[in-house]
């Protein structure tokens, strides 16, 4: 059973999970399954080993057991796989996993290699019939890696007369600190779906590391007939309909933590300190080789809900903005059921508004925005250098508040004025998600509400 269960175990960890794609379930759920199936595999394989041990000791005593382990490759590699599996289980516990994710990941991959090699050899020596399941699991792992490499090549490598060229990412530290904007032009145009994320590789900063980030915004440079258009067509600007995007740029907002993100932030800051302000393009100070793998996810569509509430905590805004733009565009085109969109963004510092202010402005300029959208920004620790006053010009579409939101009050107002079924989605730290979930629960008897969360971690 342990060997058979290696198949779903490996399916669940694949970034290119075609089953997940078909049933429209995101990677974080599969990751949860991966962890639980992993625990089942550990229990099954420990039971297998204990059953054999008890039997052996019963038949030949402890000397017999020692002898078997000393002379038999079959048992030695089985024991190697068992030890690797137990270590994997121990290292995967949440505190250890989050303490140093990169260390966990490297050790996990190394131990998995020992585990799979041990199992395969164990089965191969006696040509056991379970071999086929092990081979299928290995094939799933190989296929995922191949697809990942193909995605990287498709997104990042282009062939020109000069030879092979790869993407150069532009990194700009953002006003107010704590984050950078990372923009990278893809070699192949792609169709954006809200809620998608991609893995970024910046070898100069993080060697082989790849980190997931939500695609906060996309822009596309159209063919010569239409200039400077955004990727989503707009019925009030007809030329966009007839053109195909030639270049797509993905934009990410990366907030700093302690590892890769801090190193990237520090590199952008030190480049900014020495840069000549007159030569800066779009505020970009650092150009680095930046590879994008993806997009992944984006299975959760909000198109069929009459009322949509999106709550973002801090950098969680990257998950929400794409939905807002998509729903507004859909409203204009008549392709979504959504009539009301409420965006609630909770930030610590006033300056964090600058992370996405230009994109927010672009959204607020979209046709019929006033009919559909309402934005509430809550600043929990406002500074004196910036206030929300600059947003007052948007005719009451953006309300800036000081302090934490009372989500129950916010939701109550939306529930009262709702049209059709409601979707509430939250992307933020644990506290914001918990409060929104608890507040949503209070209204499930009064309205049809679909609740979803994105936690930015797994
Ligand atoms: C689907 C998704 C979308 C995300 N979108 C954004 C975004 O738009 N902007 C943003 O700033 N952050 C986003 N994140 C979070 C971002 O991936 C992590 O903050 C980043 O990987 C931390 O890197 P670090 O080395 O600085 O982390 P560390 O300081 O070492 O750790 C900080 C936290 O990040 C987790 N983490 C570290 N590396 C990874 C990894 N490779 N994969 C998953 N988790 C990791 C750790 O477990 C820990 O909880 C997203 C995460 C996910 C899963």
212 lines ligand 1 (CB under 6 A): yes
* pLDDT on residue 393: 53
* pLDDT on residue 391: 61
* pLDDT on residue 8: 96
Q: To test ligand 1's pocket by mutation, which of 261, 264, 322 has the most ligand atoms within 8 angstroms of CB?
A: 261
If you take atom 7 of ligand 1, which residue's CA is the nearest one? 213
115 lines ligand 1 (CB under 6 A): no
* pLDDT on residue 25: 87
If you take atom 41 of ligand 1, which residue's CA is the nearest one? 211
Report all structural domains of the chain as residue ranges with CATH numbers, in order of start.
6-154 (no CATH), 167-297 (2.40.30.10), 307-454 (3.40.50.80)
If you take atom 37 of ligand 1, which residue's CA is the nearest one? 101
250: closest CA among 290, 286, 288, 285? 290
State the distance from the centre of ligand 1 to the C-alpha of 456, rounded, in angstroms: 6
State the distance from the centre of ligand 1 to the C-alpha of 56, rounded, in angstroms: 47
Q: What does residue 208 show for φ and ψ, rounded to 5 degrees?
A: -90, -5
* pLDDT on residue 281: 59
Do the bridges between strand 196-201 and strand 211-214 make them parallel or antiparallel, or are there none, so unpaired? Answer: antiparallel
Chain length of the chain: 458
State the distance from the centre of ligand 1 to the C-alpha of 380, rounded, in angstroms: 23
State the distance from the centre of ligand 1 to the C-alpha of 211, rounded, in angstroms: 6
Can you give the C-alpha Rg of the chain in angstroms?
Answer: 26
State the distance from the centre of ligand 1 to the C-alpha of 16, rounded, in angstroms: 19
Q: What order do you get walking across the sheet with 340-347 strand by strand?
A: 398-402, 373-379, 340-347, 307-313, 422-427, 449-454
260 lines ligand 1 (CB under 6 A): yes
* Residue 172: strand pairing partners: 181
Q: Cβ distance 374 to 341 under 8 Å?
A: yes
State the distance from the centre of ligand 1 to the C-alpha of 139, rounded, in angstroms: 28
Q: To test ligand 1's pocket by mutation, which of 209, 257, 262 has the most ligand atoms within 8 angstroms of CB?
A: 257
Atom of ligand 1 nearest to the CA of 209: 41
Per-residue pLDDT of the chain (458 residues; tens, 9 = 90+): 999 999 999 999 999 998 888 888 888 889 999 999 999 999 999 999 999 999 999 999 999 999 999 999 999 999 999 999 999 999 999 999 999 999 999 999 999 999 999 999 999 999 999 999 999 999 999 999 999 999 999 999 887 777 777 888 999 998 877 899 999 998 888 889 999 999 999 999 988 899 999 999 998 876 444 444 444 444 444 444 445 556 889 999 999 999 999 999 999 998 888 877 666 656 678 899 999 998 999 989 999 999 999 999 999 999 999 999 999 999 999 999 999 999 999 999 888 998 999 999 999 999 999 899 999 999 998 776 555 556 655 666 888 999 999 999 999 999 999 999 999 999 988 889 999 999 999 999 999 999 999 988 87
Atom of ligand 1 nearest to the CA of 297: 1
Atom of ligand 1 nearest to the CA of 179: 11
Cis peptide before 295 (omega within 30 of 0): yes
State the distance from the centre of ligand 1 to the C-alpha of 429, rounded, in angstroms: 12
Q: To test ligand 1's pocket by mutation, which of 25, 251, 259 has the most ligand atoms within 8 angstroms of CB?
A: 259
261 lines ligand 1 (CB under 6 A): yes
147 lines ligand 1 (CB under 6 A): no
Collect all residues with Cβ–Cβ distance below 8 Å to 379 and sequence separation of at least 6: 347, 348, 349, 350, 388, 400, 401, 402, 403
Q: What does residue 395 show for φ and ψ, rounded to 5 degrees?
A: 55, 40
Collect all residues with Cβ–Cβ distance below 8 Å to 240 and sequence separation of at least 6: 222, 226, 229, 233, 234
């Amino acid at each position: 059973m342990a060997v058979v269960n290696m198949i779903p175990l490996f399916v669940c960890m694949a970034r290119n999970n075609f089953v997940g794609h078909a049933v429209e379930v995101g990677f974080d759920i599969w990751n949860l399954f991966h962890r639980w199936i992993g625990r089942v595999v550990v229990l099954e394989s420990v039971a297998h080993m204990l059953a054999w041990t008890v039997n052996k000791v019963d038949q030949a005593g402890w000397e017999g057991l020692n002898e078997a382990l000393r002379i038999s490759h079959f048992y030695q590699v089985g024991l190697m796989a068992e030890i690797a599996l137990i270590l994997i289980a121990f290292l995967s516990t949440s505190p250890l996993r989050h303490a140093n994710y990169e260390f966990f990941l490297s050790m996990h991959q190394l131990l998995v290699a020992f585990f799979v090699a041990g199992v395969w050899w164990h089965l191969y020596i006696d040509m056991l019939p379970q071999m086929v399941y092990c081979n299928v699991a290995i094939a799933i792992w190989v296929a995922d890696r191949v697809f990942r490499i193909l995605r990287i090549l498709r997104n990042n490598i282009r062939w020109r007369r000069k030879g092979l060229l790869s993407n150069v990412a532009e990194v700009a530290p953002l006003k107010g600190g704590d984050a950078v904007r990372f923009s990278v032009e893809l070699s192949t145009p792609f169709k954006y779906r809200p809620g998608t994320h991609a893995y970024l590789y910046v070898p100069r900063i993080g060697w082989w590391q790849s980190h997931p980030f939500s695609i906060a915004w996309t822009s596309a440079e159209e063919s010569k007939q239409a200039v400077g258009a955004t990727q989503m067509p707009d019925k009030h600007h007809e030329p966009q309909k007839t053109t195909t995007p030639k270049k797509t740029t993905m934009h990410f907002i990366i907030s700093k933590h302690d590892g890769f993100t801090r190193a990237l932030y520090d590199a952008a800051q030190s480049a900014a300190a020495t840069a000549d302000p007159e030569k800066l393009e779009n505020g970009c100070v650092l150009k680095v080789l930046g590879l994008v793998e993806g997009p992944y996810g984006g299975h959760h569509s909000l198109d069929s809900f009459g009322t949509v509430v999106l709550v973002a905590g801090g950098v969680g805004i990257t998950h929400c903005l794409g939905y807002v733009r998509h729903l507004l565009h859909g409203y204009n085109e008549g392709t979504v059921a959504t009539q009301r969109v409420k965006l609630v963004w909770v930030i610590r510092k006033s300056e964090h508004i600058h992370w996405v202010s230009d994109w927010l402005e672009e959204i607020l300029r979209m046709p019929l925005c006033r009919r559909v959208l309402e934005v509430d920004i809550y600043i929990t620790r406002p500074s004196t250098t910036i206030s929300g006053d600059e947003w007052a010009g948007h005719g009451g579409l953006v309300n800036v508040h000081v302090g934490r939101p009372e989500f129950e009050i916010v939701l109550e107002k939306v529930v009262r004025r709702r049209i059709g079924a409601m979707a509430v989605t939250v992307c933020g730290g644990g506290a914001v998600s918990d409060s929104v979930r608890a507040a949503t629960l209070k209204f499930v008897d009064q309205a049809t509400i679909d609740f979803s969360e994105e936690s930015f971690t797994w």
